[in-house]
Structure 1
Amino acid sequence: MNVGIDELRRRFDREQCRFFIPNGAQERMIKAFGSGDKTVSIFSGGNGAGKTFLMTNILANLIWGKQNSWFKGPLFEGWEFPRRVRIGTESANVRTSGAIDDAISRWWPKGRYTASKDGAPYVRTYTSDTGWIVEKMSYEQETREWESSTLGLVCFDEPPPRDKYMASVARLRKGGRIGIFMTPLMKAGWLIDELQGQPDVQMVYADIEDNCKIHGQRGHLLHDDIERMVANMDPDEVEARAHGKPMHLSNVILGKTFQRHVHVVPENLQPPAGGVQWGMVVDPARGKPWAIAWFWVDRTGRIVFTDEYPVDDWLRCRETNLTIADYAKLIRHVENGRPMQWRIIDRHFANARNDYGTTLKQDLSEKFGLEFSDSYACENEIESGIQKTKDYFGGDKALGPRLLIKENCRNIIKSMERWERDERLAPNIKSPYKDHFDLVRYACSANLEYDTPVEIKPRPTGYVLGR
């Protein structure tokens, strides 16, 4: 359709959302959100990645329908949830002079919405001529204030506190979607830990270079300006502020040694034709579930973790009523008669005497026929086991990694990515991610090798000279 010059000028002046051009990372988020495949979409971006502008334009293309060709997908073509939106943000951005109001003023079509303070010292509510209502709320407001209207969409500008997030999720009573647009500083820790990897959550990372005119795709920032910004950042915050990577993971123990695309394999991976030998490892505990894992070792000495317990998210497994007999039954059930070459157990817990004068290791052996070997012992035990794990992940150039994890072992994978060092740079022994990491370091430190059975050939019959 041909549009006259005057109309183009009017649109450019009053309907900027028609002319929004996303950078590469923003485009990925638009596609992910617009597909409607997931309930929660997270845009984790560095400073200058365009988070607030992206959020504002996604809203414009929902409230007034598709405004330009970049916004495609079922959600933009037919919104089926309540037309009420909540924007949650930090107190500085709630104010009229904040980034959100500035972005709305720039991108939303002029004359097609009204703003109301609703008794607050700042604009609290926007109402569109299409019947949408958008409310702004501060993270500093009481949680009970978040437990109100039925919503169809919740947008968080920066990481929300957990209680505000949960209160908003409960407002999606008739279905809806959640969009989180954030720089993942320390406050994002709970969010990354609990949401990342969940089946109904998708995450798009945005590096500041994604918005570079030279190195990005349709970027808007000069590279010299980006370099100047990064140079002035706190070194401890560069991962989050420049690269959109969670800051609370900057001290993860394995760092870049563990890579999902290298070390995680499909659940249906079969043992190699040359055969394997099986093992399992246990990190028992009192008052919470035992952490258990099963693995095979092939003829090259490669360890492949195949199954784990619990199968539920470890962070949600706070207590258990299982007895030793229950665990023995569970172990037998998972193994299904498969012979175990190795059974390894945390030596510290397994050899501590109980009120009856016996040990867990004794009880498992004498009462249930499960014979375990102690986990490794050496000086500087934890650091030594960490290094051994790194060595296995590194492998060698000829054979590749000597340690792989099947994709169904979600708790083990998370522990590889998230067990971190504390403020003293020592391994954080209180971290919930230590338990499943321990399973891996116990196995790697046991020096497991495929034990090739010695074939004893029968002695030939017949007479021997001299007898």
Structure 2
Amino acid sequence: MSQSSTSTIPDLNELLDLLAELETLEAVYTENPIVFFRPLKHGDQDPFFRSSLATVRLVLGSNRSGKTESGAAEAVAHALGFRPWLDEDDPDRIVRLPSGDPIPVPNIGRVVAQNFQTSVKQTIWPKLQKFLPRDMIAKVHKDQRGIPVQIDITNGSVIYLMSYDQDPMVFEGPNGHWFWCDEPPPYKIYIGLKRGLVDFGGHCWITCTPLTQPWMNDIIVERANVLDSGVRLFKFSIWDNCVENGGYLTREAIEEFLADQREDELEARLHGKFLHLAGVVYGTWQPEPPYWIDPFDIPKTWPRVCVIDPHPRKPIAVLWAAVNPDEQWFAYDVLWDRKLKTIAQVSERIKYMERLREDRDLIAHRIIDSSAKVPERTYGSNILVRFAEEGIRCALANKQNTQAGYDAIHEALRMRNEWSEPRLMVFNHCAPIKQNFMNFCYDEWQTDKQRDLKGDKQDYRKTNDDFIDCIRYIFQGGLTYQMLKGMARRQSEEEYFDDCGMPLDVGKWHTGYDRRRYGRRS
């Protein structure tokens, strides 16, 4: 036998050493399995664990995406005071409260699931058992059915296991440092749990497939990932758990599961969209880059527009946007204040907000919904004139072919390839724009039978659309960088305004209509 062939065979001592190492690892895994937990590399799992300074973390995920596994690991880490799977020098190894202070040990936490018999007994408790170090479990309290309701940790921490089946009043009194809800909680239970965090400045996380509790979209999702908000949103996909991405599910198993889902449920189960919003119009828009971006100083050379959408009962919506030489639009500020009741108050706030910026916004063009031209019985004039009297002179929006405006927004959000950027981006402090994009939906028939007979409705639900309208007025007006630069140059010239001091119709101006009066075509 050659020397090269014999050198590849380990001797007995090497084999014994290897066996001893394996036995040690097996013992550690048996006694302290959380040390071996690894977040999935593909997707939002690792960022979820590294965002504990948030007051609320919401994980919207499909089935088998690892959301419950992650929630359980984070619960055990909170009870211990640290994340054992991270290196000792990792800044996120120590669990911290939103204040940045390390979570005190011992601490009190609550884990809440849909029901005791199925959710707690068959899902939550086995997950917690999987991660809790064996020598850290002091006592497990069970109810008369043998279901765990309280876990005492040897360091003094306590984990209470609760259910949405319980009376909401049960959640009102007790305080604690943290809670975890697995699947969407009823609103009253969520509020009761949140009140319990106030004493210690605690935080919470919710892991769910958004099939129920639409209040969460209005109360939590709309605040998520907004600048200076304490709410963070994460999306876990079943594809993150695919073998190809480091998970344990085969591609064939995932495709078989998804094949059985209805289209509306697929949006919820796969993409984390609330079921009542499965028909959202701008599904590609997400409150994250490249659509939802950090603010930056807009160059003074970029022309800006101000768009106003008045309403008799709702707040007046005001949008500010700038366009760069590449025809990319940036929505950089909004006004949506229920306390402003009159045109004079809104005008004063508009002027204040434009003066507030260091470079003093130089607005090249203002647009207002054409309904502003309708005479008002009370004032004897109209909203267009009343804004002009306050020094806010606007051109009427081009509202012909509404569908073309909606389509233009779709086109502005489309990215040609993975390296490109959309032509419409929103600064992440403009929460009302985010609310519109995530809630503007197609209309629906009142019954499933009508839908089956007539197909999907082609109309839009005329709610949550104020800032969508402001954006489409920009695109329907055909505004471009060069055109707005020309408007900015002409602002001080008389030919830009009519005899009443009102801006001339921009559509006529930029198409060359009556050039003698309206000026040269840009």
* Length-normalised TM-score, structure 2: 0.72
Cα-to-partner distance string for 1:155-201 (whole Å, 9 max, x where unaligned): 01112223222221111111222122222334353355334224322
Q: Note the C-alpha offset of 1:446.
A: 1.7
State the distance in 2 between where 1:20 and 1:420 align. 40
Q: Which amino acid aligns with 1:20?
A: F
Q: Note the C-alpha offset of 1:396.
A: 8.5
User: Cα distance 1:249–1:4, how it changes in 2: closer, same or farther (>3 A)?
Assistant: same
Would you say 1:308 and 2:334 are equivalent positions?
yes
The answer (yes or no) to whether the contact 1:81–1:152 under 8 Å persists in 2 is no
Would you say 1:83 and 2:107 are equivalent positions?
yes
Would you say 1:363 and 2:381 are equivalent positions?
no
Would you say 1:428 and 2:444 are equivalent positions?
no
* Partner SS state of residue 200, structure 2: coil
Cα-to-partner distance string for 1:132-166 (whole Å, 9 max, x where unaligned): 21112222323221112110111011122232222
- Among residues 185, 201, 225, which one is paired with 1:197 in the alignment? 225
Q: Note the C-alpha offset of 1:340.
A: 4.1
For 1:249-264, what aligned pairs fall within 5 Å after superposition? 249-256=277-284, 261-264=289-292
Would you say 1:161 and 2:186 are equivalent positions?
yes
Q: Which amino acid aligns with 1:75?
A: I
State the distance in 1 between where 2:35 and 2:416 align. 53
State the distance in 1 between where 2:36 and 2:327 align. 58
Cross-structure match for 1:463? none
* Partner SS state of residue 233, structure 1: coil
Q: Note the C-alpha offset of 1:100.
A: 0.9
For 1:11-410, what aligned pairs fall within 5 Å after superposition? 11-24=28-41, 29=45, 32-34=48-50, 36-64=52-80, 68-70=84-86, 73-76=92-95, 78-80=102-104, 83-91=107-115, 97-110=121-134, 112-117=137-142, 122-172=147-197, 173-187=199-213, 188-190=216-218, 192-198=220-226, 199-213=229-243, 215-217=244-246, 219-256=247-284, 261-264=289-292, 266-271=294-299, 275-297=301-323, 302-310=328-336, 319-336=338-355, 340-365=363-388, 367-379=389-401, 381=402, 383-394=403-414, 402-410=423-431
Cα-to-partner distance string for 1:11-68 (whole Å, 9 max, x where unaligned): 4445433443432258x54554356432222333221122222222223333346574
Q: Which amino acid aligns with 1:174?
A: F
State the distance in 2 between where 1:17 and 1:403 align. 43
The answer (yes or no) to whether the contact 1:287–1:320 under 8 Å persists in 2 is no
Cα-to-partner distance string for 1:299-342 (whole Å, 9 max, x where unaligned): 665544332113xxxxxx5x324322111212222333755443
State the distance in 1 between where 2:141 and 2:391 align. 72
* Partner SS state of residue 207, structure 2: strand
Q: Which amino acid aligns with 2:166?
A: Q
The answer (yes or no) to whether the contact 2:285–2:291 under 8 Å persists in 1 is no
User: Cα distance 1:388–1:300, how it changes in 2: closer, same or farther (>3 A)?
Assistant: same
State the distance in 2 between where 1:420 and 1:284 align. 21
State the distance in 2 between where 1:96 and 1:264 align. 37
Q: Which amino acid aligns with 1:444?
A: F
* Partner SS state of residue 97, structure 1: helix
Q: Which amino acid aligns with 1:197?
A: N
The answer (yes or no) to whether the contact 1:88–1:157 under 8 Å persists in 2 is yes
Cα-to-partner distance string for 1:100-149 (whole Å, 9 max, x where unaligned): 12223444344624222356773322222221211122223232211121
Q: Note the C-alpha offset of 1:288.
A: 3.6
- Among residues 429, 435, 438, which one is paired with 2:469 in the alignment? 438
The answer (yes or no) to whether the contact 2:63–2:209 under 8 Å persists in 1 is yes
The answer (yes or no) to whether the contact 1:94–1:100 under 8 Å persists in 2 is no
The answer (yes or no) to whether the contact 2:106–2:156 under 8 Å persists in 1 is no
Cα-to-partner distance string for 1:66-106 (whole Å, 9 max, x where unaligned): 57434752534953276111112112666663311222344
Paired positions, count: 436
| Identity across the alignment (%) | 23
The answer (yes or no) to whether the contact 1:86–1:135 under 8 Å persists in 2 is yes
Cross-structure match for 1:313? none
The answer (yes or no) to whether the contact 2:152–2:159 under 8 Å persists in 1 is yes
The answer (yes or no) to whether the contact 2:56–2:232 under 8 Å persists in 1 is yes
Cα-to-partner distance string for 1:227-274 (whole Å, 9 max, x where unaligned): 2222222332223323445545542212326785345555324337xx
Cα-to-partner distance string for 1:356-395 (whole Å, 9 max, x where unaligned): 4322222223x3243322222325x3x3321232344459
Gaps of 5+ in 1: 311-316, 455-467
State the distance in 1 between where 2:312 and 2:212 align. 31
State the distance in 1 between where 2:326 and 2:50 align. 46
* Length-normalised TM-score, structure 1: 0.80
The answer (yes or no) to whether the contact 1:280–1:342 under 8 Å persists in 2 is yes
State the distance in 2 between where 1:353 and 1:100 align. 60
The answer (yes or no) to whether the contact 1:207–1:243 under 8 Å persists in 2 is yes
The answer (yes or no) to whether the contact 1:25–1:205 under 8 Å persists in 2 is no
* Partner SS state of residue 135, structure 1: strand
User: Cα distance 1:43–1:258, how it changes in 2: closer, same or farther (>3 A)?
Assistant: closer
User: Cα distance 1:180–1:330, how it changes in 2: closer, same or farther (>3 A)?
Assistant: same
* Partner SS state of residue 270, structure 1: coil
User: Cα distance 1:320–1:7, how it changes in 2: closer, same or farther (>3 A)?
Assistant: same
State the distance in 1 between where 2:150 and 2:191 align. 22
User: Cα distance 1:83–1:278, how it changes in 2: closer, same or farther (>3 A)?
Assistant: closer
Compare relative contact order (CA 8 Å, sep 6+) and give the higher one, 1 or 2.
1
For 1:427-466, what aligned pairs fall within 5 Å after superposition? 427-430=460-463, 433-449=464-480, 450=483, 452=486
The answer (yes or no) to whether the contact 1:95–1:122 under 8 Å persists in 2 is no
The answer (yes or no) to whether the contact 1:34–1:76 under 8 Å persists in 2 is no
Gaps of 5+ in 2: 1-17, 97-101, 446-456, 491-522
The answer (yes or no) to whether the contact 1:39–1:178 under 8 Å persists in 2 is yes
User: Cα distance 1:285–1:103, how it changes in 2: closer, same or farther (>3 A)?
Assistant: same
Q: Which amino acid aligns with 1:211?
A: N
Cα-to-partner distance string for 1:205-238 (whole Å, 9 max, x where unaligned): 221122122x112x12233222222222233222
